[in-house]
Amino acid sequence: MRSGVPGAVQPLPDEDVRALGFPGLPAGTPRFRPEDLQQVSGTRFAAAPAAEPRPPELRAAGRRLLPVAQAFYRSASAETAAALLEVSLRHPHELVRVSAAASYFEVTTNPVRAIRALAHGVRSGDPLTRDVAAHALAHVDPGNPALVKLLASRTRRSTRKRSRTSLIVHGTWARTSAWWQPPNGDFWRYVHDTVDANLYGAQDRFEWSGGYSDAARALAGNDLSAWVQQHNLQGLDLFTHSHGGSVAMLATHAGTRVGRMVLLSCPVHWPQYTPASTLVGSVVSVRVHLDLVILADRGGQRFNDTRIRENVLPIWFDHFAAHDPDVWRQYDVPAML
Amino acid sequence: MGPLQAARLFALRSVWSATGLRSAGRALVDALGSPDEGVRSVAGMFLVQGGKRAEPLIAEAIHRRQNLPTVAVIAGDIGAFRLEPELRRLTADADPEVAQAARDGLRILAAHQNPGSSQRG
């Protein structure tokens, strides 16, 4: 279901939806009862869908899936879309069931059945199914016991010895900006003197092009990883601003271990830019309300991932407030880290 | 950058995208030199988001030596291979910031040509 709100983040860009051939649907979907959806789809299931569909359900769903999908493409509406999701909850492939469950929340009066499918999907042996299920479940039911195991394993990882060097990674177009540069940049000076005395300050500190493209960030992610190796660091803490956070995330996928990753006003482009969770101790995000630069970037304003701790400052619009020492002092940002 | 400045940039981007009006695009290039970091950032983002449409504006800015440290990187970001000779020339520029930006622009261009080279691990 797409949002029709101007300026809202679109999880699915319109051009992608068009390329996939999905019919357009208006925003503001009504909710349906499962019994009504089964009537629309011409199915009648004896019980609510189990996490693992039973053979008779699989057969019934298999028979109805094609005609229900055809009905949706013939006459796209909230009702035919919801009916397709209802049947897909019993699809033979778990990835389809989990994907259907992730969207089912938006259309149903009874979300319990979808939560059950997602909780089961979190334990799937298939990484993609597991990831889709975990992200969707964390979004709708972050306290679900099925997620506890994932969170517990992360907690264990974060208990390893803290890395001793830290670094600031600037964002787009900021290579020559003064604020992050040692030894006199105001943010560098503040972090070094107040937050982390191990902040790197030698001449050969890391910097990148600040380009605004995936290619520029990919190069920078590799360069950061190489910088860490050249300095014989087993890992480090990172203070990043804007797409500097994307660069840091890419560096973790190139093998860089990060103790603490601080994301300041980082645009959310999930799953394109994600931290490699096994190599990162903790991730903290600090941002402002309705960041205008992120709006222009077409990124998301907040992470929907329980592994990333979000902190929203009581400031509106200003993308650069997050690296302002006065803001850090006024709102005690160090306590958020 | 306040909402009004942002609104102006969004309006310029809309006009430039919808009509191709060169003066609207030029205003975005001009904004790259703003003292306001937010204005510079958003203007640069809009130019890159314009892709190939921005190429003539970037070429023009290079010839006029306008906001070169940013413009040279944008040339790489938008994959403006036609501007490669200009970027090569700028790597020998007397201004070290310009020379560095030109090297960055060339490196990003090369990464566009060979995406595998920028993806490791």
Put simply, the answer to whether A225 touches B115 (Cβ < 8 Å) is no
Q: Which of A216, A222, A320 sits opposite B77 (nearest CB)?
A: A216
Q: Which long-range contacts (CB under 8 A, 24 or more apart) does A23-28 make?
A: A23/A72, A23/A73, A23/A76, A24/A76, A25/A1, A25/A76, A25/A77, A25/A78, A25/A81, A26/A78, A27/A1, A27/A2, A27/A3, A28/A4
Residue A128 tokens read as 């993609």
Q: Which of A216, A255, A317 sits opposite B108 (nearest CB)?
A: A216
Q: Which long-range contacts (CB under 8 A, 24 or more apart) does B98-101 make?
A: B98/B68, B98/B69, B98/B72, B100/A175, B100/B69, B101/A175, B101/A209, B101/B68, B101/B69, B101/B70, B101/B71, B101/B72, B101/B73
Chain A residue with minimum CA distance to B114: A215
Find chain A residues with C-beta within 8 A of B42's C-beta.
292-293, 296
Residue A101 has pLDDT above 80, yes or no: yes
Instruction: Show the domains of chain B with their CATH numbers.
Output: 3-114 (1.25.10.10)
Least confident of A128-132, A170-174, A194-198, A317-321: A128-132
CA A273, A277, A278, A281 torsion-angle sign:
positive
What percentage of residues in chain A have a pLDDT greater than 70?
83
Question: Which residues of chain A form CATH 3.40.50.1820?
Answer: 166-336
Q: How many CA atoms lie within 13 A of A122 on its CB side?
A: 21
Cα–Cα distance measured from residue A180 to residue A194, given in angstroms and rounded to the nearest whole number = 15
In the structure, what pLDDT confidence band is assigned to residue A28 with cuts at 50, 70 and 90?
Answer: low
pLDDT mean across residues, chain A:
83
Q: What's the rounded mean pLDDT across residues A177-193?
A: 96
* Residue owning tokens 């999907």: A121
Find chain B residues with C-beta within 8 A of A174's C-beta.
37
Q: Which of B3, B69, B118 sits opposite A222 (nearest CB)?
A: B118
Residue type for position A301: Q
Put simply, the answer to whether A213 touches B77 (Cβ < 8 Å) is yes
For A275-332, write each residue's pLDDT tens digit.
Answer: 998 999 999 999 999 999 999 999 999 998 889 999 999 999 999 999 999 999 999 9
User: Is any Cβ of chain A less than 8 angstroms from the Cβ of B51?
Assistant: no
Chain B residue with minimum CA distance to A243: B41
DSSP A269-334: -TTTS---GGGEEEEEEEEEET-HHHHHHT-BSS---TTEEEEEEEEES-TTGGG-HHHHHHTTGG
User: Is any Cβ of chain A less than 8 angstroms from the Cβ of B95?
Assistant: no
Instruction: Single out the residue of A217, A214, A212 nearest to residue B74, CA to CA.
Output: A212
Put simply, the answer to whether B121 touches A225 (Cβ < 8 Å) is yes
Put simply, the answer to whether A215 touches B115 (Cβ < 8 Å) is yes
CB neighbours (10 Å) of residue B60?
A: 15
Chain A residue with minimum CA distance to B78: A213
Cα–Cα distance measured from residue A157 to residue A252, given in angstroms and rounded to the nearest whole number = 15
What percentage of residues in chain A have a pLDDT greater than 90?
48
Find chain B residues with C-beta within 8 A of A318's C-beta.
1, 38
A279-to-A90, A94, A115, A296, B97 alpha-carbon distances in Å? 36, 28, 29, 31, 34
Q: How high is the pLDDT of residue A91?
A: 83
Size of interface A-B (CB pairs under 8 A): 108
Q: A237 to chain B nearest CA, in Å?
A: 20
Beta bridge partners of A166: A199, A237
In the structure, what pLDDT confidence band is assigned to residue A98 with cuts at 50, 70 and 90?
Answer: confident
Beta bridge partners of A286: A264, A311
Cis-peptide, bond into residue A271, ω within 30° of zero: yes
Residue A219 tokens read as 């190069």
Residue type for position B78: I
Cα–Cα distance measured from residue B2 to residue A52, given in angstroms and rounded to the nearest whole number = 53
Helix (H, G, I), strand (E, B) or coil at A238: strand
Is ipTM over 0.85?
yes
User: Is any Cβ of chain A less than 8 angstroms from the Cβ of B39?
Assistant: no
Stretches where chain B sits below pLDDT 70 are 115-121
Find chain B residues with C-beta within 8 A of A241's C-beta.
none
Cα–Cα distance measured from residue B99 to residue B107, given in angstroms and rounded to the nearest whole number = 12
* Of residues A115 and A174, more confidently modeled: A174
Put simply, the answer to whether A173 touches B40 (Cβ < 8 Å) is yes
Find chain B residues with C-beta within 8 A of A299's C-beta.
none
For A110-147, write each residue's pLDDT tens digit.
Answer: 777 788 888 888 888 766 677 677 777 776 676 677 87
Q: How high is the pLDDT of residue A189?
A: 97
Cα–Cα distance measured from residue A56 to residue A39, given in angstroms and rounded to the nearest whole number = 18
User: Is any Cβ of chain A less than 8 angstroms from the Cβ of B48?
Assistant: yes
pTM given for the model: 0.64
Residue A50 has pLDDT above 70, yes or no: no
Residue A155 has pLDDT above 60, yes or no: no
Q: B71 to chain A nearest CA, in Å?
A: 10
Q: Does domain A166-336 have CATH number 3.40.50.1820?
A: yes
Residue A178 tokens read as 């003064």
Please tell me chain B's helix, strand, coil percentages from 3-state DSSP, rounded to the nearest 5: 80, 0, 20
Put simply, the answer to whether A317 touches B2 (Cβ < 8 Å) is yes
